[in-house]
Structure 1
Amino acid sequence: MRHLVLLGVLLATPAAAFDLPPLDAFSATVERPLFTPGRRPPPPAVAAPAGAFDANGLPIAEAPPAPKHRLRLVGVASDATGRAVAVLRADGGGGDVRVLAGGRVEGWLVQQVGDGGMVLAAGTRRVAVPLAGTVPAAD
């Protein structure tokens, strides 16, 4: 009988509201992407030193200068109304950028935000950006 009363008390107690943890709590998801072989983000591109040659003796062209910052899609969440929100972070640090479908980012129109990433459009050009992918230049 004592167990039955205790069960009744537990069932009558309302559950606490669920709050999402801060975005920084999910840093392991960015550092170890789930669907990337080896679960590591791709290494940054390294520019060849000036005057370097490849194995065939041909000069290696220097890499173009890196953009000031690139936005990376670090997550997709839902807002209070259930709309999907893309969460972007600049490689150089700084705050996160959150954008809904219909919003604009880096010259792109965000057409769709879903579980696997987002779809961007600029003129007739459409680009799918997967999770942990970067937003390309809109040109």
Structure 2
Amino acid sequence: MAFFGLLAGILAAIGVDAAAWATTTERVVTNRYSGLAIEGFDPVAYFTDAAATQGRPEFEAAEAGVVWRFRNEGNRASFVAHPEIYGPQFGGYDPTDLVRGVSCAGNPRFWVVAGNRLYLFNRETSRDAFAADPARFLKEAKMRWPEVQESLAQ
């Protein structure tokens, strides 16, 4: 444990983004230290504000075994009523990596809403490629997702 604490301190000191610490062994991308889904960003704000907005601790909800944060009570209520709409698709994993059969945690700062669904990406280049042809990526990612999902811890 001391080794991992030291490693985390070193990586933090050299500026590794917190999203890189998101676990890739869960059905929903969750920060292993905070326990928050999608790094505490409000999933509803992507739709209502067209922005990646941090949620607040006083507006939390548990869904799919993880804690989600929201910027206000209205967003929390919308998510609780329809998590399948507002939650990131593929559990927050990058759909461009799913096409390759790999589970790579999406970064909530790189996102696209396509077909009224939220998708998160590991890199800007992945987001841009997806945005140019979402139908192509989604067809392949949806075919691969069940197999990849089976390899993730429940």
In terms of Rg, which structure is larger? 1
Higher RCO (Cα < 8 Å, 6 or more apart)? 2
Instruction: Give the TM-score, by structure 1 length.
Output: 0.25
Name whichever structure is richer in helix by fraction: 2
